[in-house]
A and B are shown apart, each in its own frame.
Chain A
Amino acid sequence: MTALTKLFRTTTFRLSLTYLALFSAAAILAIAYIYWNTTVLLSRQLNQTIDAELKGLAEQYRAGGLEQLVRIVAERSQTPGNSLYLVANSEGHRLAGNLSAVAPDLWNSLGPVEFYYRRPAAAGVERRLAFANVFRLPSGYRLIVGRDIEDRRELASMVRSAMLWGLGVMALFGIGGGYWVSRKLLARIDTLAATTRTIMAGDLAGRLPVTGSGDELDRLSDSLNLMLARIEQLMAGLREVSDNIAHDLKTPLNRLRNRVEAALREPYGEPVYREALERTIEEADGLIKTFNALLSIARIEAGAGGQNRELLDVSALLCDVAELYEPVAEERGLMLKAEANGPVFVRADRQLLGQAIANLIDNAIKYGTAEGADGTGAKPEVEVTATEKGGVAEIVVTDRGPGVPVSDRERVLDRFVRLEASRSEPGSGLGLSLVAAVARLHGGSLRLEDNAPGLRVVLALPSGSGATMNGVTAREQARAETRSA
């Protein structure tokens, strides 16, 4: 594609051309209208004047016969001006007037007519345009009264050519301007395209140029730059995740390998081999768990698991999961309290939400035991509640453990992040990441707060109480159930 065709294809150029065409059409129409109206008006005035004069002369003829008419015409012909007169007999012989030779066809016509006549001028004879009315006198004589309109014709032709020139210049400026503007715009677009290509080629830190004029291209570049920043951030996140995977999966793999190697080094005999193999299986199981959790998070973040959403009562699910963990909590010397304050409905995937709640309770049990006990001798409590307020269902899990410092509250949601204090507990550092991913999948959020002392985790989800279940809203159904109970 040559540079010129590329230019002609630009939107700016096409828009300029369209605008030019429309504007020219409007200008031509307006000027033509004015021109035409003026011409008609002038012709009508001329016609009326000539008519009046003809009538006057006809009066004279009736009153004083041919001689008087000839006299008056001869008299008027002496007056300089544009007026043209002629009195002639039926053969075309002039009796009086300032028009000399007249074409015979004019002679035979009647009424208003336009024609050329010759008039002596400084340099010989000139041909001029006239407008006249031919009147037939009773005796076969003709009376012609007219006006010289050569000046008017010249003016009209001048106006016409000026108009054509004007239009020509306008078209030239229009096309030239369109070309110039398009070239300027095309140059900027080309810069943007070139920058984009270098960014695509791998330079993620690159940004589109912004001129600072705040025009639409700047606004577009700004938006694209924000998008690029987001992509760069995501890529950094991805790199971090792969680094984490490398570290958190390779370390146990290496441990596993070392153990097998150590067992093989000497002929230790069956019991040692057996133990080494059992430990190997354990290690492999741990790896599989981590791997599964990572895959789950990745799939949830990619939006999978949305197909099995149903309207479910979070309170019931919460009590259900709490019941699963209650013996473990007791074993660890914790009180696990699940409080159901009536049903709270959300539209969610039961397995995913169940797992999220399980992770939260599991964390609370693991980390809620520590020195957080308040010294009153009462068992430290882990409390789980579900409430609904203003279209938001909140699942709250609180513990009395050491909590999470404010500075780490964002960070612990990332994959594989484990705080120093928690290193002693088994875990992959993926639990909260999964909860956060589940929250995002369901259009909700996860926040960590201070329980003074301890940690308060809030999983907020859009409540599904407005949604219908077989045409009955969940709230109505819940009411009906309470009534029947």
Chain B
Amino acid sequence: MRVLVIEDDQETATFLRRALKESGHVAEYAGDGQTGLELARANAYDVLIVDRMLPKRDGLAVIGTLRAEEIRTPALILSALGEVDDRVKGLRAGGDDYLTKPYAFSELLARIEALARRTSPEEGSTRFVVGDLVLDRLTHKVTRAGEAIMLQPREFRLLEYLMKHAGQVVTRTMLLENVWDYHFDPQTNVIDVHISRLRSKIDKNFGNPLLHTVRGAGYSIRDSAH
């Protein structure tokens, strides 16, 4: 994945580039809004990571300009402003996701990987398959090894989101935001309990577990047997 980091803080930028490289991505860097805009115009990136407050041209303006020029590269906004109002403003300006500083790198990584996947053809498919687990988005039916699994509506949406991002790490916050549409901290680890319920339905009676916990990051659904 080719990522452009537009961030004015040198140390943060260096850390991000190194960490992205270690995760197997190619990271390029721009220290101000103007350079960032020019780079994003000239090259085809999979994802942009844009700091909100930048010298010369602020982050939202960079994204706004790109969108006006029909450049639709997914963009993740990084900001110290974390209130709902700021989030809404960021997404309205053309950002695809919003992450508040300070953040865990695992959260950032999971989010940009999810963003890059957005543009892939799987996004619109009506059937998700992971190993012998099949989810049909039209009939709302889930089967494992041909056996029907009964899920509550919310469990279905949870599994749907996980399977849409099969093979990727999905964080608790991403689940809370995308499955429940809550943008606050629920204090208790409510998501973990939902996951363990879901796990008991799709994994318990089958030999090969598909829903994995990724330590310090979140969850991932994948067929590790292959």
A contact residues vs B (CB 8 Å cutoff) = 278, 281, 284-285, 288-289, 292-293, 295-296, 299, 304-305, 307-308, 320, 323-325, 327-328, 331, 349, 351-352, 354-355, 358-359, 362, 365-366, 427, 431
Contact = CB atoms under 8 A, between A and B. Distances in A.
Task: Give the one of B84, B102, B154 with max A CB within 10 A.
Answer: B84
Identify the 6 closest CB pairs spanning chains A and B, nearest first: A355-B184, A327-B193, A351-B84, A328-B193, A362-B187, A351-B183
B206 interface: no
Contact of B194 (A327, A349, A427): A327
Contacts, number: 66
A286 to B, nearest CB: 11
B84 A305 contact: yes
A295 B193 contact: no
Given A299-B83, A304-B83, A366 B188 contact: yes
Interface of B: 82-85, 88, 100, 102, 104, 154, 180, 182-190, 193-194, 196-197, 216
A136 B219 CA distance: 136
22 contacts: A281-B104, A281-B216, A285-B104, A292-B185, A295-B82, A296-B83, A299-B83, A304-B85, A305-B83, A305-B85, A308-B84, A323-B154, A324-B182, A325-B186, A327-B194, A328-B189, A328-B190, A328-B193, A349-B84, A351-B184, A366-B188, A431-B187
A441 B32 CA distance: 38
Given A327-B194, A327-B197, A427 B187 contact: yes
A352 B197 CA distance: 27
A295 B180 CA distance: 23
Contacts of A328: 188-190, 193
Nearest to A366: B188
Given A327-B194, A351-B182, A365 B82 contact: no
A358 B191 CA distance: 13
Nearest to A354: B182
Contacts of A365: 188
A307 B186 CA distance: 22
Contact of B85 (A307, A331, A354): A307
A324 B84 contact: no
A232 B104 CA distance: 41
Given A328-B190, A358-B186, 11 more contacts: A278-B216, A284-B102, A289-B185, A296-B83, A307-B85, A324-B190, A325-B190, A351-B84, A351-B182, A355-B185, A358-B182
Nearest to B153: A323
Contacts of B185: 289, 292-293, 355
A431 B197 CA distance: 27
Contacts of B180: 320, 324
A285 B185 CA distance: 12
Contacts of B104: 281, 285
Contacts of A304: 83, 85
Given A324-B182, A327-B197, A351-B182, A358 B85 contact: no
A331 B193 contact: yes
A436 B83 CA distance: 18
B190 A327 contact: yes
Nearest to B100: A292
A349 B100 CA distance: 20
B184 A354 contact: yes
A295 B100 CA distance: 13
Contacts of A323: 154
A362 B182 CA distance: 15
B88 A362 contact: no
A278 B106 CA distance: 13
A350 B194 CA distance: 22
A84 B216 CA distance: 131
Contacts of A349: 84
Contacts of A355: 182, 184-185
Contacts of A284: 102
Nearest to B87: A351
A230 B188 CA distance: 37
Given A295-B82, A304-B83, A359 B187 contact: yes
Contacts of A292: 82, 100, 185
A288 B102 contact: yes
Contacts of A352: 84
A281 B215 CA distance: 13
A47 B216 CA distance: 122
A351 to B, nearest CB: 5
A320 B187 CA distance: 16
B186 A362 contact: yes
A430 to B, nearest CB: 10
A422 to B, nearest CB: 13
Nearest to A284: B102
Contacts of A296: 83
A284 B154 CA distance: 32
A354 B190 CA distance: 14
A307 B180 CA distance: 22
A254 to B, nearest CB: 19
Nearest to A352: B84
Contacts of A327: 190, 193-194, 196-197
B153 to A, nearest CB: 9
Nearest to A293: B185
Nearest to B179: A324
A362 B188 contact: yes
Nearest to A296: B83
Contacts of B186: 324-325, 358, 362
A278 to B, nearest CB: 7
B99 to A, nearest CB: 13
A328 B190 CA distance: 6
A308 B187 contact: no
A325 B83 CA distance: 23
Nearest to A287: B102
A452 to B, nearest CB: 26
Contacts of A325: 186, 188, 190
A394 to B, nearest CB: 22
Contacts of A427: 187
B184 A358 contact: yes
A323 B180 CA distance: 10
Nearest to B101: A288
A259 to B, nearest CB: 17
Contacts of B216: 278, 281
A101 to B, nearest CB: 107
Nearest to B184: A355
